[in-house]
């Protein structure tokens, strides 16, 4: 752990050194900038180069351990770290990291970290972290985290993508995406966060202030100007369901749990998606597709035992936060639960079953039911 901390501190010091050097030389040496075919250094100050104060743009740069140069128009290789005070045009390859005080037009490949004080037009690829203080036009790829002011293109990280401003891009993250405004797509396993969305969010949890011309897809969708609705429901299968709907009218998620408090006590939990259409004045219509696990008493069936429901509801808004809803439901019950004593598959939940067939130890039943709800 101490070694890892030392490496990170060393990388940060190199970046600060590079940034400070930029302020010292970028004006007074600008008039003397010239190209040279190559330079070779062991570490800064030990090699064919005297560093950025010479004002050379290198066409080829080789830093056996680390190097600190003025600029690059070609290719640079570093055993540990490459630092350039000004813009680079070309490609950097380093065992640990690359740092640039200006803009990058080309590509950076760092074993651990890439940092750019200006803009990037091209590709950043790092084993751990990419940092760009201004805009990225192109692609950021990292094993853990990407940081940028804004991006146009693709951001893909093993864990986290963060844009301080806009993202006209596709963001792919193992855990979390953030952009102030996203025009494109955010995909994460855990959380997406944006203030304004024009496109698509896909994650377990999606958070946005507004969603325009797009959809959010997740188990929990928190849209400030969207749908947040609790409901108490009753249907032919479960006496009481508690449901939560979140998202937008165009596409929202449904989470629910229910009980059947009869002699053969049943309980269930499930999820699904729905879409809502405005009809007239206080009338709306909604279509929902849900699936739920059916269980008996204190037991949880290990075998397949799912009830899938396609419902069509008519909603009437009684008050601002009070809506009543009712409609027919098409049910498809798929189960492998079998009682050898009775020879019966599944639980007794069907109402007027019109289809009941068994194939390869899987029973499928179909019937038409109903749903009634009070939504808050």
Confidence class for position 28, pLDDT limits 50, 70, 90: very low
pLDDT band at 32 (very low <50, low <70, confident <90, very high): low
pLDDT band at residue 193 under the 50/70/90 scheme: very high
Mean predicted lDDT score pLDDT of the chain: 90
Q: What is the pLDDT of residue 23?
A: 40
Alpha-carbon distance of 110 to 46, in angstroms, equals: 22
- Residue 263 pLDDT: 64
Q: Which residue has the higher pLDDT, 319 or 14?
A: 319
Whole-number Å distance between alpha carbons of 130 and 98: 10
Annotation: CATH topology of 227-375: Porin (2.40.160)
Q: Which residue has the tokens 């400070």?
A: 20
Query: CA 7 to CA 240: how far, in whole Å?
Result: 59
Residue 320: pLDDT band (50, 70, 90) is confident
Q: How many CB atoms lie within 10 A of CB 48?
A: 10
Question: What integer pLDDT is reported at residue 72 of this predicted model?
Answer: 97
pLDDT bracket for residue 301 (50, 70, 90): confident
* Residue 246: CB atoms within 10 Å: 22
Can you give the pLDDT at residue 22? 43
Q: 248 is written with which tokens? A: 């937008």
pLDDT in tens, 331-366: 999 999 988 888 888 888 888 899 999 998 999 999
Residue 218's φ and ψ, nearest 5 degrees, are -175, 170
Contact 120, 107 (CB under 8 A): no
Among 228, 175, 183, 227, CA closest to 204: 175
Residue 20 reports pLDDT greater than 70: no
Residues 335, 346: contact at Cβ < 8 Å? Answer: yes
Mean pLDDT (whole number) for 322-329: 96
Q: Which of 105-109, 161-165, 289-293, 299-303 has the lowest mean pLDDT?
A: 299-303
- The domain ranges of the chain are 2-223, 227-375
Sorted by sequence, the CB contacts under 8 Å of residue 158 that are 6+ apart come out as: 142, 143, 144, 173, 174
Rounded CA Rg of the chain: 30
* 224-254 tens-digit pLDDT: 989 999 999 999 999 999 999 999 999 999 9
332 to 129, 164, 351: CA distances (angstroms): 48, 46, 12
Query: In the 8-state DSSP scheme, what is residue 281?
Result: T
Residue 5 has pLDDT above 50, yes or no: no
Q: What whole-number distance in Å separates Cα of residue 85 and Cα of residue 20?
A: 9
- For the segment 50-73, the average pLDDT, to the nearest whole number, is 95
Is the pLDDT confidence value at 8 over 70?
no
Q: Which of the two residues, 132 and 262, has the higher pLDDT score? A: 132
* Average pLDDT estimate for 1-11: 42
pLDDT digits (tens, 9 = 90+) for 92-148: 999 999 999 999 999 999 999 999 999 999 999 999 999 999 999 999 999 999 999
Q: Which two tokens stand for residue 296?
A: 């008996």
Q: Averaged over 185-190, what is the pLDDT?
A: 97
pLDDT at 55 over 80: yes
| pTM metric for this prediction | 0.80
Residue bearing tokens 């599944």: 346
Q: Read off the tokens for 194.
A: 């944006």
Count the neighbouring beta carbons within 10 Å of the beta carbon of residue 349. 22
């Amino acid at each position: 752990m101490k070694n890892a901390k030392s490496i990170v501190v060393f990388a940060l010091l190199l970046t600060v050194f590079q940034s400070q050097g930029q302020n010292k030389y970028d004006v007074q040496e600008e008039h003397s900038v010239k190209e040279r075919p190559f330079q070779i250094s062991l570490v800064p100050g030990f090699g064919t180069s005297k560093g950025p104060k010479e004002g050379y743009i290198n066409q080829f740069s080789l830093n056996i351990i680390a190097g600190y140069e003025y600029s690059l128009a070609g290719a640079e290789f570093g055993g540990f770290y490459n630092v350039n005070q000004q813009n680079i045009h070309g490609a950097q390859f380093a065992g640990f990291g690359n740092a640039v005080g200006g803009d990058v037009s080309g590509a950076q490949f760092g074993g651990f970290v890439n940092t750019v004080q200006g803009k990037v037009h091209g590709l950043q690829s790092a084993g751990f972290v990419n940092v760009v203080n201004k805009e990225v036009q192109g692609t950021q790829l990292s094993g853990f985290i990407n940081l940028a002011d804004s991006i146009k293109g693709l951001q893909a990280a093993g864990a986290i993508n963060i844009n301080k401003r806009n993202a006209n891009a596709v963001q792919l993250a193992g855990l979390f995406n953030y952009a102030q405004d996203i025009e494109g797509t955010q995909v994460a396993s855990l959380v997406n966060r944006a203030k304004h969305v024009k496109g698509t969010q896909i994650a377990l949890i999606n958070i946005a202030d507004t969603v325009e011309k797009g959809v959010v897809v997740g188990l929990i969708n928190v849209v400030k100007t969207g749908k947040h609705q609790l409901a108490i429901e009753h249907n032919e299968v479960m006496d009481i369901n508690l449901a939560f709907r979140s998202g937008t009218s165009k596409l929202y998620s449904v989470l629910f749990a229910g009980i059947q408090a009869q002699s053969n006590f049943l309980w269930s939990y499930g999820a699904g998606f729905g879409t809502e259409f405005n009809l007239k004045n206080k009338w709306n219509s909604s279509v929902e597709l849900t699936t739920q696990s059916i269980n008996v008493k204190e037991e949880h069936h290990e075998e397949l035992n799912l009830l899938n429901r396609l419902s069509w509801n008519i909603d009437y808004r009684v008050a601002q936060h009070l809506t009543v809803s009712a409609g027919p439901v098409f049910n498809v019950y798929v189960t492998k639960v079998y009682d050898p004593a009775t020879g019966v598959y599944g639980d007794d939940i069907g109402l007027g079953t019109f289809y009941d067939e068994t194939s390869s130890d899987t029973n499928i039943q179909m019937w038409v039911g109903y749903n009634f709800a009070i939504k808050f």
